[in-house]
């Protein structure tokens, strides 16, 4: 089939590579226009544009200012394509764009739809504590991630994997799924499933302030928050000394975390005498680490980055920052 690829983010790159080796022809690629930095200098070539040039060197690349404009629609129609593939483009397509190819379009989305429709599906699924993660290929409709599902695939990542590793794995899985879906669409063997509206959940863009740690949450939830918010915005807390003469706080970027003892042998549970101590309190300090009370136990940070400093081990951190029992992270 003749395919138009529409992409902007890195999640689409493995699929562009896979299309090169498929039996389908990518007749054109549409990417976002190059932008100018606030300083006035030109931004570097976006990775997805570089990927098209590397994997599909014979494919012409276009950057319409508005893909939904009459000019954008006519551009896509001019390719006489059977179908378009869109991934990580950041725009809702108008009905006219969807109807500009013979069979419409398919989208690769980073969740098991109908869960986590929106801009940050992988991050939000991890944040919510989902243990099985996956991708979906859907037919495009003029509504966010709402089209019939062509195919899905999933896996259970390690609990040590962050959004960075998980996104890379899902992008590779998605590339294979897109090519398989195109083959099935071409052969007429696709039976798309309408999404169950009762199972819909949203995955809005992440805001920086969401990285603030609520220590009354469970240890597992805090670890999932850290995993979800890598590499941005990361998770943080403010250290407040228990000394009455110190009223200032220090912003600390924290994580990864461990809920296990120093040797990794057993989860740490808060002794009964600490039950009334506020969550976020420092319960124990050793030469190499310190423990913070959570809603159901205690955590220790395996790396700490004070404001304006580089990340460091807790042992190095404690040499310059005298955290002690009774201090608070909030």
| pLDDT number for residue 41 | 47
Give percent above pLDDT 70 in the chain.
93
- What pLDDT, in 10s, does the model give residues 10-22? 999 999 999 999 9
The C-alpha atoms of residue 138 and residue 145 are separated, in whole angstroms, by: 8
Half-sphere exposure of 284 (CA within 13 A, CB side): 18
- What pLDDT, in 10s, does the model give residues 227-268? 999 999 999 999 999 885 555 789 999 999 998 766 666 666
Domain limits, the chain? 2-199, 208-329
Which alpha helices (H) appear in 56-90, and where do they start and end?
A: 70-77
What tens-digit pLDDT sequence spans the chain (330 residues)?
999 999 999 999 999 999 999 999 999 999 998 876 665 545 567 789 999 999 999 999 999 999 999 999 999 999 999 999 999 998 899 999 999 999 999 999 999 999 999 999 999 999 999 999 999 999 999 889 999 999 999 999 999 999 999 999 999 999 999 999 999 999 999 999 999 999 999 999 999 999 999 999 999 999 999 999 999 999 999 999 988 555 578 999 999 999 876 666 666 666 677 778 999 999 999 999 999 999 998 999 999 999 999 999 999 999 999 999 999 999
Sheet holding 298-301: strands in order across?
257-258, 298-301, 290-293, 282-285
The radius of gyration computed from the CA coordinates of the chain, to the nearest angstrom, equals: 24
The architecture CATH gives domain 208-329: Roll (3.10)
Return the bridge partners of 267, or none. Answer: 260
* Helix axes of 163-187 and 13-20: crossing angle, nearest 10 degrees: 40
Tell me how far CA of residue 240 lies from CA of 217, 223, 268, in angstroms: 19, 22, 23
The C-alpha atoms of residue 2 and residue 89 are separated, in whole angstroms, by: 20
Short-list 298, 302, 287, 308, CA closest to 329: 298
Sheet holding 133-139: strands in order across?
61-62, 25-30, 2-7, 83-87, 105-109, 133-139, 149-155
Do residues 210 and 191 make contact, with C-beta atoms less than 8 angstroms apart? Answer: no
CATH number of 2-199: 3.40.50.170
Whether 2-199 and 208-329 share one fold: the answer is: no
The C-alpha atoms of residue 150 and residue 2 are separated, in whole angstroms, by: 19
Do residues 151 and 108 make contact, with C-beta atoms less than 8 angstroms apart? Answer: no
């Amino acid at each position: 089939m003749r395919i138009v690829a529409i992409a902007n983010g890195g999640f689409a790159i493995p699929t562009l590579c896979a299309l090169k080796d498929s039996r389908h022809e990518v007749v054109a690629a549409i990417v976002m226009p190059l932008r100018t930095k606030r300083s006035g200098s030109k931004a570097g070539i976006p990775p997805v544009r570089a990927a098209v040039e590397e994997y599909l060197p014979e494919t012409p690349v276009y950057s319409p200012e508005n893909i939904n404009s009459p000019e954008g629609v006519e551009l896509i129609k001019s390719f006489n394509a059977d179908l378009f593939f869109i991934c990580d483009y950041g725009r809702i397509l108008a009905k006219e764009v969807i109807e500009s190819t013979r069979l419409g379009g398919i989208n690769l989305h980073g969740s098991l739809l109908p869960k986590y429709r929106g801009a940050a599906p992988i991050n939000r699924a991890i944040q919510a504590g989902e243990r099985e993660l996956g991708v979906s290929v859907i037919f495009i409709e003029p509504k966010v991630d709402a089209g019939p599902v062509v195919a899905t695939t999933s896996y259970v990542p390690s609990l040590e994997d962050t959004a960075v590793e998980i996104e890379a794995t899902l992008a590779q899985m998605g590339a294979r799924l897109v090519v398989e879906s195109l083959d099935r669409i071409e052969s007429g063997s696709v039976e798309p499933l309408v999404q169950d509206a009762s199972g819909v959940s949203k995955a809005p863009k992440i805001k920086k302030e969401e990285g603030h740690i609520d220590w009354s949450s469970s240890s597992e939830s805090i670890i999932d928050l850290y995993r979800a918010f890598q590499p941005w915005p990361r998770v943080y807390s403010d250290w407040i000394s228990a000394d009455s003469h110190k009223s200032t706080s220090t912003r600390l970027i924290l994580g990864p975390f461990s809920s296990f003892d120093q040797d990794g042998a057993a989860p740490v549970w808060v002794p009964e005498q600490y039950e009334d101590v506020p969550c976020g309190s420092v319960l124990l300090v050793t030469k190499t680490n310190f423990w913070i009370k959570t809603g159901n136990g205690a955590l220790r940070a395996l790396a700490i980055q004070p404001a304006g400093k580089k990340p460091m081990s807790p042992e190095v951190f404690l040499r310059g920052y005298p955290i002690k029992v009774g201090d608070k992270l909030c």
